[in-house]
Amino acid sequence: MSQQRTRREFLSQVGVAVAGVAIGGVAAPGCAAEPDEAGKPNRKAADNSSPRVAIARDDALARGRVGEHRELLRKLLDAAVQKVTKQADAVGGWRSMFRPTDHVGIKVNTLGLSTQPAVVDAIVAGLLSAGLAAENVIIWDRFDTELAAAGFKLNKSARGVQCRGTDAERYGSGYQRDIEISGEIGSCFSKIVAEEVTALICVPVLKDHNLAGASLGMKNFYGAIHNPNKYHDRNCDPYVADVVSHRFIGPKWRLTVCDATRAQYNAGPARHPGFAWPFGGLIVGSDVVATDAVAADLLDGERKRRGLKSLEDDKRPAKHITTAGARGLGVADLKKIERIDV
């Protein structure tokens, strides 16, 4: 049994209490991150302005298959990144967030309604434009099987963009052996997020969640811990914020690209064609909380438009977003977020 520790290992485990780690790597609200002289992103806030969240939409995206719109996706994403980072152009925007030496983990969501591979291709193109080597980029989720089923091509070779699940080698070998405590959670983290990457891009899908209200960027990181099933009580709150607060995630988080090419406004997270929502867009931000807050607001708006109860009235408010905001992980108050249509 691979999870079995030797007595020595077992006794050497030291409980690590890490709570409330601020999201250091994420641009502060309104941050126009300027590369410093060494080409290293300077992530200090330039002013106290509101965080920006870009909603990049095009009706054409809602038609046909998402994979047919690669060019359009690239254009929309670049425009959104440029707006969010307040840089002169898209390449400047990508460079303001990622160093060429970074190892970037792209966390997709392949449970139920999945992240579209074409959206991830657009992200990879952006990273390459910032000077990263393809080998320094890894697309990941929990399982190889789920990644493959969602249309991602697994790549475990040393060349090109990597793509694999935490459980790729099975029997829990992809998780750290020791438990990490963060707030109320106690979990073993994926080695990918804990040991391999220096920066994270989160690519959730704009979709409803039967317990958390909405399954967005922060909730997506339940896929980084070995025991997410333990943390669904109380609308997943405060557990989502506990996961995001952890030093393996918060400080590494640079960007959320919420895939809203094909969204779902009810009965998630499983795919449910009856509640499909052809949003045809991306929701992009570098403030993890603000991006989720805007996405959740769009979801609630769509539910209202379709005559469904709000998440609040359906007794599954996305409380984790408010909690994350209250903890200073980002901005949850919609009035303090600058929405930009692209």
Partner 1 sequence: MDNLDNIFSQPTRRDLMRFGLACGAVCALGRAGRAITQDTPGKRQMAGPKLEGVARHAAMHWEKQPENRIKCVLCPRECEVADVERGYCGVRENHGGEYQTLVYGALCSANMDPIEKKPLFHYLPGTPAFSIATAGCNIECKFCQNWQISQFRPEQVESTLVTPERLVSVCKSRDCPTIAYTYSEPVIFYEYMHDTAALARQRGVGSVMISNGYIQEKPLRELCRQLTGVKIDLKAFTEKFYQEQCAGKLKPVLATLEWLKDIGIWFELVILIIPTLNDSPNEIKEMSAWVVKHLGPDVPMHFTRFHPTYRLKNLPRTPVSTLERCRKIAMDAGVHYVYAGNVPMHEGENTYCHRCRSELIRRVGFRVASNAVKDGKCSKCGAKIPGVWSQGQVIPG
Query: At 180, is the secondary structure helix, strand, or coil?
Result: strand
Least distance between partner 1 and beta carbon 50 (Å) = 34
Q: Binding mask 103-122 vs partner 1 (x if CB under 8 A, - otherwise)?
A: --------xx----------
Asked if 258 contacts 204 with a C-beta cutoff of 8 angstroms, the reply is yes
Measured CA to CA, the distance from residue 189 to residue 175 in angstroms comes to: 5
* Total interface residues for partner 1 by CB under 8 A: 37
Binds partner 1 (CB under 8 A): choice among 198, 210, 336, 339:
210
Binds partner 1 (CB under 8 A): choice among 45, 72, 148, 267:
267
**CA 53 distance to own-chain centroid:** 14
Give the position of tokens 């792209």: 106
Q: Which DSSP state fits 274?
A: G
Q: Does 310 bind partner 1 (CB under 8 A)?
A: no
How far is CA 46 from each of CA 31, 98, 299, 306, 327, rounded to the nearest angstrom? 5, 18, 31, 41, 22
**Around Cβ 219, how many Cβ atoms within 10 Å?**
28
For partner 1, the binding residues in 153-172 under the rule CB under 8 A are: 167, 170-172
Least distance between partner 1 and beta carbon 12 (Å) = 11
Asked if 295 contacts 216 with a C-beta cutoff of 8 angstroms, the reply is yes
For partner 1, the binding residues in 170-199 under the rule CB under 8 A are: 170-172, 175, 179, 181, 186
Q: Does 269 bind partner 1 (CB under 8 A)?
A: yes
Give the position of tokens 């963060």: 182
Is 125 or 148 the residue whose CB approaches partner 1 more closely?
148
Least distance between partner 1 and beta carbon 332 (Å) = 25
Contact residues: partner 1, CB under 8 A: 1-5, 7, 10-11, 13-15, 111-112, 143, 167, 170-172, 175, 179, 181, 186, 209-211, 226-227, 229-230, 232-233, 266-270, 272
